[in-house]
Chain A
Amino acid sequence: MREITYVEALNEALREEMRRDERVIILGEDVQLGYSGRGGLFLVTAELMKEFGAERVRDTPISEEGFVGAAIGAALTGLRPVVEIMYADFLLPCMNQIVNVAAKLRYSTGGQLKVPIVIRAMIGQGRGVGSDHSQVLIPWFMNVPGLKVVAPSTPYDAKGLLKSSIRDESPIMFFEPFLLYRTKGPVPEEEYLIPLGKADVKKKGKDVTLVAISTMVPRALSAAEKLEKEGISVEVIDPRTLIPLDKETILNSVKRTNRLVIAESSVKTCGVGAEISSMVVEEAFDYLDSPIKRVAAPHVPAPAAPTLEKLTIPDENDIIKAVKELVEG
């Protein structure tokens, strides 16, 4: 199978959905051309304006609250907007529209309205861009009923999940890490969709269940490979969507391995790992042979200095250490 990058996979998903459905439009900063002259700061929207025109691929002013609110208004009345948020941190100026409006409209109107909008947000972590350009805000949105939260880790998943997200009737937060943008992976030429709410077992194993989120998935896989050589068999699960969460796949795995490690690059406090570990304690406590381990970022803003930033993103060794503590501890 051909291999393409994560960015190319997203670009293909957008192109295919825009060809399929003329209600799909793109809004965002620099999405038409950007300074690359091709579209988007990171080329996710490359060449889309050329094909679909400036009416459907729209550059916005730098006013997230305004244009995200406008995208919601458009979604309520017949369009299916995909919004690009250049850095996930820029979601904060438009939290009001996302949390108070998009997430609530369907419920508060007794099901009259639906908000088919996808908000794509790039996680800037790992390129020294500092405290307000690097946050992994995934858990924030998991806390809001009404939103779905998607965080793919491979080009294959990115494409299939973005296409499904665009076709979904609920507002969707779609997180794309910069650290995975240039990674390559197999993506079929023919069309496919990946349903929301289905985890993927990225590697089978029997000793420890390792649930890895987004950026952490490739690191978890290489950790698992090394551990395999030392005789520790790790099952790596990528939930792919956090809301809805595929509890069943995680629980079934834990019931077999009896051990659980969760790896994410968000801050550990109230993180994805906190939610998943509580869920497992509530629903499968009797199956656990040891405490649950969380590998996550320390409680610190992202520093600009590379020596320090590195310490805020868990790596393969952090994961290996956590797994070994469980197995050998």
Chain B
Amino acid sequence: MVEIRRFEEKINEEYNKGLVPGLVHLYVGQEAVAVGVCANLTKDDYVVGTHRGHGLAIAKGVPLDKLAAEIMGKESGCCKGRGGSMRVAYLESGLLYSCPIVGTNLPLATGVGLSIKLRGTDQVAVSFFGDGASNTGDFHESLNLASVWKLPVVFVCENNSYAISVHIKKSTAVEDIYKRAVAYGIPGVIVDGNDVLAVYEAAQQAVQRARAKEGPTLIECKTYRTVGHGTTDPGTTYRSKEEVEEWKKRCPIKRFREYLVVNGVVSEEQLRQIEKEVEVRVEEAIRFAEQSPYPPPTALMDYVY
């Protein structure tokens, strides 16, 4: 989680320096979701993410340097700079794709589930999406299909209450997305998405259920992005300062840090050491990305077919 947070802060700095092309959506505040879920997965399990995909990439084991280079559009990126921030994929660690069109990744995860079922392995497919995606046809078609075919899929809704600037009360008929599972005859679970252990436990059950061939689960993680929708959004016009501050108090990193120290799992000193190491790794990754070359013009037409 610390690695994700620090990485995103650095990417924001790089963006402000003009070194990141296109749109960038930071995962700041939501780290516990990707980390808590992915802690249950192996590299053979598949995940698909969204435009807000850096956190998932790190949690699923994409090397920081390849990720940073991809975000900056460099040839050394995990997608050779063709995908950019919103389309990170790294097959080697099971990050199949990050799909920036809202809702679009749910059918993909469903199909991955079908492939797992027909190939007879015990892998699982996990789709991460926001509360906004739960209003798309893709969401409903996928939950229906995954349920009818009893596929090993876990649908993880990261409910951060805002679809860009529109509050969930204005856009969504239910405030709790997990309730939508009822319509498809699958378990729906709600969890504090800023509590990494709670997310871990909810995901553990869903993943076990999928591996046991018992079908899909919908998990709703209540969370919050304490930054704007994207790097061009200060995140201040459609929500109050108080609301943001309130959620900052519930920072998943702070909470887990306290938990670890209070319970004597690790010492304050050890944590500081880890944070120092993270700082170095992130710095190195960013430097690698900055120094990497862009794809050459001669390579424009590679990979179309």
* A interface residues, Cβ below 8 angstroms from B: 25, 55-56, 58, 60-61, 63, 65-79, 81, 96-97, 100-101, 105-113, 145-146, 148, 169-170
Contact = CB atoms under 8 A, between A and B. Distances in A.
Contact of A78 (B119, B137, B144, B303): B119
13 contacts: A65-B141, A70-B142, A72-B111, A73-B112, A74-B112, A76-B97, A76-B112, A79-B119, A97-B107, A110-B83, A112-B78, A112-B79, A170-B305
B80 A111 contact: yes
Contacts of B113: 73
Interface stretch (B29-37, B98-106, B220-228): B98-106
B104 A97 contact: yes
B22 to A, nearest CB: 12
Given A56-B118, A77-B46, A66 B79 contact: no
Contact of A73 (B82, B91, B107, B119): B107
Nearest to A70: B111
Given A73-B125, A109-B87, 17 more contacts: A61-B141, A61-B145, A63-B144, A66-B110, A66-B142, A66-B144, A69-B110, A70-B110, A72-B111, A73-B113, A76-B115, A77-B115, A110-B80, A111-B302, A112-B79, A112-B91, A146-B305
The 8 A-B pairs with the shortest beta carbon distances in the complex, nearest first, are: A69-B107, A73-B111, A66-B141, A110-B80, A70-B111, A73-B108, A110-B79, A63-B141
B114 interface: yes
Contact of B83 (A81, A109, A148): A109
A108 B87 contact: yes
B89 interface: yes
Contacts of A105: 97
B28 interface: no
A97 B137 CA distance: 12
Most buried by B among A58, A67, A68, A81: A67
A73 B97 CA distance: 10
Contacts of B290: none
B96 interface: yes
Nearest to A71: B111
A72 B107 contact: yes
Contacts of B138: 65-66, 69, 96
A107 B145 CA distance: 28
A281 to B, nearest CB: 23
A68 B81 contact: no
B116 interface: yes
Contact of A69 (B91, B106, B115, B149): B106
Interface residues of B, number: 44
Given A65-B107, A73-B112, A76-B112, A109 B141 contact: no
Nearest to A100: B101
Contacts of B111: 69-77, 81
Most buried by B among A70, A96, A107: A70
A66 B107 CA distance: 5
A110 B77 contact: yes
B185 to A, nearest CB: 14
A78 B78 CA distance: 21
A288 to B, nearest CB: 29
Contact of B114 (A73, A111, A145): A73
A73 B109 contact: yes
B148 interface: yes
B212 interface: no
B183 interface: no
A129 B209 CA distance: 46
Given A69-B138, A74-B111, A109 B82 contact: yes
Contact of B79 (A70, A108, A148): A108
A90 to B, nearest CB: 14
A169 to B, nearest CB: 8
A87 B84 CA distance: 36
Nearest to A171: B305
Contacts of A100: 101, 104
Contacts of B265: none
